[in-house]
Amino acid sequence: MWLIALVSLWFSAGLVCAQPPGTTPTRDVFAQQQDGVDASGLPIRAFMFLSESDNVVLMPGLSWEEFERLSNPDSVVDSNQQLFSFQSLAIKGEVDAERFEGEVGLSIVVAPSQGQWIRIPLQMGNFHRLKPPDVTGIDNYFMTLTPDGSGHLLLVKTDQQQELKLRMEVSARVVASTVSKTLEFKLPGAPSRVDLNVGAVGVEGEILGRGDEVLEKKVVADKGTNFQIESGGGNYSLRWGSSSRTKDDTALLEVESRINVRWDSPQDPLIADFLLTVENVRGSIDSFQLRLPAGAVLLDSLRLGDSGQTIDLGEPVKGRDEEIRDVIIPEAERGSRIDLSFELQLPNDNASESNPLDFHVAEVVGALRHKGVIAVVTGSDYRLRWLSSPWVDRVMGELGEDAANSGRTYEFKFERASFELPLYLGEKGRQLRMTSNSILNVYDSAANLDMTISINGQVSKGLLQFNDAGWQIREIQDSETGELLDLFEDDDRFLNMRNVGNGDLSQIRILAELQLKPENGDVGFYLPTVTDVDGAARVQKATLDIKSTGRSMMVVDLAASVGLTRGIVAGPDVSAAKSSTISYQIQTQEKRPKVVGALVAQPPRISLASEAVIELSGNQLRTDVGWTVTSSLDLEGVLIVRIPDANNLVTPMENGESIVSVSQDVGSEETQKPDDVQENSGGVEEPIDPTLEEPWMVSVNGAPAKLKYIDGDRYELISERLAMNTMDITWRRVQDLNAAVGDGAVISVPLPSPGILDVTIRGSMGVTLRGDQGFDLVSADRQRQKRLDLVTFPRDPLRLRLLSRLTSQEELTVQKTVLRTVVGRNLRHESVYAKVQGGGRFQVGLPSDAVDVSVQALIDGEKRTVRREENTLVVLLPNDGETHVVDLQVWIARETPASFSNIKPLLRLPFGVGRVYWQIVAPSDGHVLWASPTLGRSMSWRFDRWKLYRQPSHDDVQLMQLVDATSISMPPGNRYLYIGSDLRSFEIVIVSRVVLWVLIGSVVLLAAVVLTNFPKSRHPLTAVVLAVMFGGLLAIAPDAAVLAGQFGIIALVLVVVMIAVRVLVSPARNGRVFSSSVIGADQPRPPSTRSLMPVIADDPRVTATEALPEPAPTEVTT
């Protein structure tokens, strides 16, 4: 008993402390713990409990937003459909027999996925990948095939908006018939371009698709025929075949339909009146096939055109779809266009919201295009309801009451006949669907709102409740008619919708503005809302586009905002040509949508294209600069620019004189401030514009502008036309040149440049230089170029050079010339010593491939400047008519092989040079083996103990004395001196001593081996041949013959020594050096000196000769 009492007491205590059934827990229960954390501090990931069947159920923890989304899935916007956008699609490939192989390139803009995978269907189900795809622009991605076989599926994940590039190599099957080949394309909806090469000539192509594709054919040499297709994607086929084949008489039909449907109640069938206009683009229409909707009943015969002639519809054919019927046109009514009308009864099985009617239209089988309009008239007690379907859209037009039947009319437009439109009639309750699109333009201190609301359905009492949310409403109008709507107040504000639209469709436009009042830089405001007075409004889709067009940009805080989620960026091109536009989705109208963010100052951002012309006219220099400036922000009438100061630049001329830049220094009396400026300045010095004497004239879009000097090289360009979008700015300045400026003078010309940081230069900045009759104007730093293409704006003035076009009256006379070439392994040192008179300038030519060149010039022992004009070096001479000594030293980077090299002078002397001494300084181990026959040798052979060498007729000092030049030290090496006049034919061959020794030693060794091992070669004719060859070498290349003789003698001495050692080691028995010790098998044997005694045979029948034994083989040695 006591146990029962204890148990009862325990249950009673539990019932007292437990929560009563049917009640919610108190707030104290939730106050004891944090969100997602229990009382012990452990995080709550899921809840586990038993179901009614005693099964263990695991329920994960959910946020309220996730619970809302799972509870009401129909109201959630599928964000994946909004998170990517196809930009372009390119396919390029070739067809070989029945196989297509090519490359697919696809550009896609992807918005942030917030940690979720974005599924991007690429279609192209008949294309097979040959290699893994190449995806750039994004890191997290993978590619697979769709389960339904529609094609490829790309899954990506990103935290910020990116543009990805997809490339993959694919192949596809080409369907071939006896007369044509067909390749099918199943592409996503994107601007597409197909480049297809077909290895055949004389073929024609056609597109089987929607009809808006563009096909272009080109004949490519050695490749066949090229087809280029431009389309908007989708499914179509390219068919091509020989142009000489029999003409295809297959009809190409285009159909337009007008369908009037009467539906009185959900229990009644539909009565559809069809009017089909069929047109054959290839000729007359004899017959065609008509597919009727399933279960449709023809109420009357078919009628043709205006004549009203009736024809019968063919019966179903066995083995074919029973809905397909044949339509045969009488011969008298045949033509390229046929109008056909008939009436059908469509079945209806009590269509409802849960079981809607799938509406189909009668379609012409094989039609190239079939489009039309459907008008559905309902009874007065019902409203037509429908579900969205591909290829068919609701017409936003003027719809009204049917006077005869007191019903309502709904119109739809379709582009393809193969569609299904779910329909049903609603008699209880009404649906009011609303979509809104708002554009918010944000300025520095204000915002303008342009909201367009589309209303589908009947408005209760003809009124909509309107909440302006503190905005100042400028006007509310009917979008179709532009009529202003009445807005009145009765406790709340209402819109009068009685006269808006016609029927169930209407569209209104709200224009409002709001003054922004930032608090610590943050702004927040609500958006106006429109709801039904009975609360029946359901906003299907609402978007908000925020555009920042002022100097401040609106940065939205999504966490603090209410009812906003990020959509795809409407304007992915955020260049200077467009303002920044970001789209957002408004999730719900249950809570008032609120935008919270901050206004962030934006620096000016421009893109600029520039072209300049600098023209010389007499003693003036005119500079014209044209800018095309594009700005996404309002410049507010001011643009900062920079103009470098060229007043203090002094540049010497090449003949030693000095000149100043085109902007001459202003005298002390001119640089002083005017008296009135000094008096009004109050002791504060204002900066003085360096271009005050020769100012820039500036205009913006043809209107004059003001250029205000700030300091340094900074100016303010002020014009009321400096705003947004594209502006044309022209600059002009005329400068006076110093009268002392002459040939070779370098002048400095400043050019304006933008003074802001964010500048995008479109293309290159072109500068065209134009001279006059007396001087050419060229660049001083770019090898005499008259056209400069600059990638950036020059911060320093351009250095330009004046070159006289007048030739000297006195021609250049070169009296004596010494040309010296010092040959190195990696460097060539060329020296020119000349005694000249007149001419005014001395120039020599450089090789066209000379890159690294160092130059030094002396005139009469004084250094002068050398100017390089493309591949020519120019040294200016004094214009005094006297004789001068030119000393020109040129170092050119040039690789020279160590074993064998062909040496020519790298410098080209001017024409008219007479006798030239050419001195070559070769490396110590290099020898001149051959010289051009046009060269005279100014050398003689000398004998020094055991070798011969060539001694030049003039040493270094004597050569310099010929032209009265100062001798400079030259590096050690073998020196050779030649004389000639045809400088272009100067040529020698230098061979290394090692190579000579290897060649000549090899020849001597080969001759020794042949003479030793081949006795037949030891013949007098061999000596004659060798003598003739050596004599020919002596006649053609005497230098080579002498060197060959020296090295050959050394090699022969070594061979003789080796033979002598051999003889001493193994002496020959007969004393001959070149005889063999063993007689060969083919040599005759000497007779033996041993007498052979005859043997008498015992047998008398055998003669004495026959009884002699055979002699043994004898080895004879010599």
Q: What integer pLDDT is reported at residue 1107 of this predicted model?
A: 42
The model's confidence at residue 11, banded by pLDDT at 50, 70 and 90, is very low
Q: How far apart are the first and last CA of the chain?
A: 148
Reported as a pLDDT band with limits 50, 70 and 90, residue 778 is confident
Distance (Å, rounded) from C-alpha 341 to C-alpha 305? 8
Least confident of 397-406, 459-468, 514-523, 574-583: 397-406
CA distances from 741 to 202, 652, 659, 696, 747 (A): 69, 10, 7, 23, 9
Q: What pLDDT score does 788 carry?
A: 87
* Distance, CA of 170 to CA of 148 (rounded, Å): 20
**pLDDT at res. 163:** 92
- For residue 1108, pLDDT over 50 is answered with no
**DSSP 8-state secondary structure symbol assigned to residue 814:** E
Averaging pLDDT over each range in 183-187, 452-456, 722-726, 1001-1005, which range is the top one?
183-187
> Was domain 79-242 assigned CATH 2.60.40.1730?
yes
The answer to whether the beta carbons of residues 963 and 818 sit under 8 Å apart is: yes
Nearest to 832 by CA among 909, 772, 933: 909
Is pLDDT at 290 greater than 70 in this prediction?
yes
Predicted model pTM: 0.39
* pLDDT at res. 71: 67
Residue 165 pLDDT grade (very low, low, confident, very high; cuts 50, 70, 90)? very high
Q: How far apart are CA 328 and CA 341, in angstroms?
A: 14
The yes-or-no verdict on residue 230 having pLDDT over 90 is yes
Please report, to the nearest 10 degrees, the dihedral formed by the alpha carbons of residues 837, 842, 845, 851 taken in order: 150
C-beta of residue 261 within 8 angstroms of C-beta of residue 270: yes
Local confidence band at 839 (pLDDT 50, 70, 90 cut-offs)? confident
Instruction: Return d(Cα 984, Cα 20) in angstroms, integer.
Output: 117
pLDDT at 63 over 80: no
Mean pLDDT to the nearest integer, 957-976: 83
Per-residue pLDDT band for 34 (boundaries 50, 70, 90) equals low
Residue 1110 has pLDDT above 60, yes or no: no
Residues 6+ apart with CB under 8 A from 659: 650, 651, 652, 653, 738, 740, 741, 745, 746, 747
Query: Does 958 score more than 50 pLDDT?
Result: yes
Mean pLDDT lowest among 539-553, 827-841, 938-952, 1061-1075 = 1061-1075
pLDDT tens digits along 683-725 = 445 667 777 678 899 999 989 999 988 888 889 999 988 888 8
What is the C-alpha R_g of the chain?
51
Q: What does the pLDDT average to over 42-53? A: 73
Tokens of 994: 């090692």
Reading the block at residue 1013, the tokens are: 């091992």
Nearest to 886 by CA among 838, 931, 933, 928: 838
For helices 1038-1065 and 993-1013, what crossing angle results, to 10°? 50
pLDDT digits (tens, 9 = 90+) for 979-1011: 988 888 889 898 888 888 888 788 888 877 887
CB atoms within 10 A of CB 726: 13
> Higher confidence at residue 133 or residue 314?
133
874 — pLDDT class (breaks 50, 70, 90): confident
More confident residue, 171 or 1043: 171
Architecture category of domain 813-986 in CATH:
Sandwich (2.60)
Mean pLDDT, range 145-149, rounded to an integer: 87
Question: How high is the pLDDT of residue 314?
Answer: 81
> Has residue 968 got a pLDDT over 60?
yes
Q: Measure the CA–CA gap between 1114 and 774, rounded to whole angstroms.
A: 107
The CA distance from 762 to 607, in Å, is: 7
Q: Residue 137 above 80 pLDDT?
A: yes
Select the highest-mean-pLDDT range: 32-46, 159-173, 779-793: 159-173
Check whether 93 has a pLDDT greater than 90.
yes
CATH T-level topology, domain 253-426:
Immunoglobulin-like (2.60.40)
pLDDT tens per residue, range 1062-1085: 778 777 665 565 555 444 455 555
Q: What is the per-residue pLDDT for 21?
A: 61
Report CA 774 to chain centroid distance, whole Å. 46
Q: What is the distance between the alpha carbons of residues 812 and 836, in angstroms, rounded to a whole number? A: 7
Maximum average pLDDT range among 65-69, 715-719, 784-788, 1053-1057: 715-719
Residues 6+ away with beta carbon under 8 Å from 225: 197, 198, 200, 201, 202, 203, 205, 217, 218, 219, 240
Q: Which of 244-253, 318-327, 991-1000 has the lowest mean pLDDT?
A: 244-253
Tokens describing residue 246: 């029999």
Q: Render pLDDT for 782-795 as a digit per residue (tens, 0 to 9).
A: 766 788 888 888 88
Nearest to 614 by CA among 754, 732, 782, 738: 732
Position 198 pLDDT exceeds 80: yes
pLDDT at 109: 93
| Residues 701/639, Cβ–Cβ less than 8 Å | no
Residue with tokens 């005499």: 784
Q: How many helices and strands, by DSSP H and E, does the chain display?
A: 9, 79
Q: Which helix (H) or strand (E) holds 718?
A: strand 714-718
Q: Which DSSP symbol is given to 591?
A: S
pLDDT band with cut points at 50, 70 and 90 for residue 184: very high
What is the pLDDT, as a whole number, of residue 156?
Answer: 92
Does residue 672 carry a pLDDT above 90? no
* pLDDT of 329 above 50: yes
Between helix 1020-1036 and helix 1038-1065 the angle, nearest 10°, is 150
Instruction: Give the pLDDT confidence score for residue 40 in this predicted structure.
Output: 60
Residue 1114, pLDDT above cutoff 50 = no
Which residue bears the tokens 């090449």? 654
Q: Is the pLDDT of residue 74 over 60?
A: no
> Cα–Cα distance between 817 and 802 in angstroms, integer?
30
More confident residue, 528 or 21: 528
The rounded distance, in Å, linking the Cα atoms of 797 and 750 is 4
Say how far residue 995 (Cα) sits from the centre of its chain. 54
Please say if the pLDDT value at position 246 is more than 80: no
Q: Is 343 exposed, middle or buried (0-12, 13-18, 19+ CB in 10 A)?
A: middle
pLDDT at 257 over 90: yes
Cβ–Cβ < 8 Å for 432, 454: no
- Report residue 206 CA to chain centroid gap: 32
Specify whether the backbone of 1040 is left (phi greater than 0), alpha (psi in -120 to 50) or beta: alpha
Backbone CA torsion sign across 671, 672, 675, 680: positive
Best CA proximity match to 102, nearest among 152, 170, 48: 170
Residue 373's pLDDT is what? 94
Identity of residue 940: S
Residue 215 to residue 212: CA distance in whole angstroms: 10
What CATH number labels 605-666+691-804?
2.60.40
- Virtual CA dihedral for 690, 694, 698, 703, nearest 10 degrees? 130
Give the integer Cα–Cα distance in Å for 126 and 172: 6
Residue 450 to residue 678: CA distance in whole angstroms: 55
341-354 per-position pLDDT tens digit = 999 999 988 888 88
Give the count of beta carbons closer than 10 Å to the beta carbon of residue 550. 22
More confident residue, 486 or 597: 597
Residue 256's pLDDT is: 93
pLDDT, position 535: 53
**Confidence (pLDDT) at 764:** 86
Least confident of 86-100, 947-961, 1060-1074: 1060-1074
Q: Contact, 794 vs 753, CB < 8 A? A: yes
Which of 107-111, 532-536, 944-948, 1095-1099 has the highest mean predicted lDDT (pLDDT)?
107-111
Instruction: Reply yes or no on whether the pLDDT at 669 is more than 70.
Output: no
The fraction of the chain above a pLDDT of 70, given in percent, is: 77
pLDDT one-digit tens code per residue, 405-432: 456 888 999 988 888 899 988 765 555 6
Q: What is the pLDDT of residue 180?
A: 86
State the average pLDDT for the chain: 78
Q: Does the domain formed by 432-596 have CATH 1.10.3470?
A: no
Q: Is 1023 helix (H, G, I), strand (E, B) or coil?
A: helix
For residue 649, is pLDDT > 70?
no
Kindly state the average pLDDT of the residues 630-650: 77
Query: Which tokens belong to 997?
Result: 């020794």
> What pLDDT shows up at residue 192?
94
User: Quick check: 639 and 631 in contact, CB under 8 A?
Assistant: no
**How much is the pLDDT for 568?**
56
The pLDDT score that the predictor gives to residue 960 is 86
Residue 671: pLDDT over 50: no
- CB hemisphere CA count around 381 (13 angstroms): 5
134-155: average pLDDT: 90
Is there a contact between 106 and 86 (Cβ–Cβ < 8 Å)?
yes
- Reduced to 3 states (helix: H, G, I; strand: E, B; else coil), residue 296 is coil
CB 369 within 8 A of CB 211: yes
pLDDT in tens, 899-934: 888 899 988 887 767 789 999 999 988 888 888 888
How sure is the predictor about 736, in pLDDT bands with cuts at 50, 70 and 90?
confident
pLDDT at site 680: 43
DSSP, residue by residue, 510-558: EEEEEE---BTTEEEEEPPEEEETTS-EEEEEEEEEEEE-SSEEEEE-T
H or E element at residue 1057: helix 1038-1065
pLDDT band at 6 (very low <50, low <70, confident <90, very high): very low
Look at 544 and 223; give whichever has higher pLDDT.
544
Task: Name the DSSP class of 490.
Answer: E
Whether 18 shows a pLDDT value over 80: the answer reads no
Q: What is the mean pLDDT of residues 755-782?
A: 84
